Amino acid sequence: MNIIRKKYHKLLHLKDLKIYSKLLRLPQKPNNSKKILDVGCSSGRDLIKKFKDGYDCYGFDTDKKTILDASKFFKKNNIKCKFVCSNGMNIPFRNETFDEILCNNVIEHVEDDEKCIKEIYRTLKRNGRLQMFVPDKRNLYTVFHQKLGFKNYYTDKTHFKEYNKNEISEKLGKSGFKILNLRLTGFFPPFGLKLCHFIDAWLPVFSFLNLFNYIIENHNSQIEIIASK
């Protein structure tokens, strides 16, 4: 099982490298003096484009090795970014530091998601912009596994929770955020999710699956929120 798991993650890494190579070829825009933070940045992929767009980039994640690998990759490719190892319960930056914050598929991994949202609100500047993705708990994978009686029926075993659009809107509003835009996106099949990720390293499986958004309503895989302080 460990061998299969290692090969699975290696293929996902190869897929990421293809995306990185495209991002690195983007033209470099002049610095816009804006600071952006990626909460739970992982390998820092989302920050590459932001750097190319002229942002001062910051990222943090709980995994030390991930942060170290990201730092090495960014330094090797002359991408300026400050990486910190921390968690969403205690974001290691001062109040109102950032013009924009990314938080993509992160708060579902945090036991106290409301505290994490408050920390994001604290470090965002007045009129700053938040982009957030969270899993939609109405996705077919979660619904199917819940009906089958699985103890952990979420799309990822490390999820503490998943959301519907009203729940995430309420949590953000409770911390003071104003929702500017909210949309449902993506599609997960009711089974074979890891296999889809595996095949997607060679073929655009999820691009094809997204076509089901127009056929099967109200069972999207993710919720995208744009909010301001």
Number of domains, the chain: 1
Q: What is the pLDDT of residues 48-90, one digit of tens each?
A: 999 999 999 999 999 999 899 899 999 999 999 999 999 999 9
Burial-class residue 220 by CB neighbours within 10 Å (0-12, 13-18, 19+): buried
Band (pLDDT 50/70/90 cuts) for residue 8 is: very low
For residue 192, what pLDDT is reported?
A: 86
Q: What is the pLDDT of residues 157-166, one digit of tens each?
A: 999 999 999 9
For residue 20, what pLDDT is reported?
A: 76
For residue 162, what pLDDT is reported?
A: 97
Which residue(s) pair with 61 in the sheet? 85
For residue 181, what pLDDT is reported?
A: 98
Q: Which domain holds residue 102?
A: 2-228
Read off the CATH number of the domain in which 72 is found: 3.40.50.150
* Global confidence as pTM: 0.90
- Cα torsion 95, 91, 80, 20: sign: negative
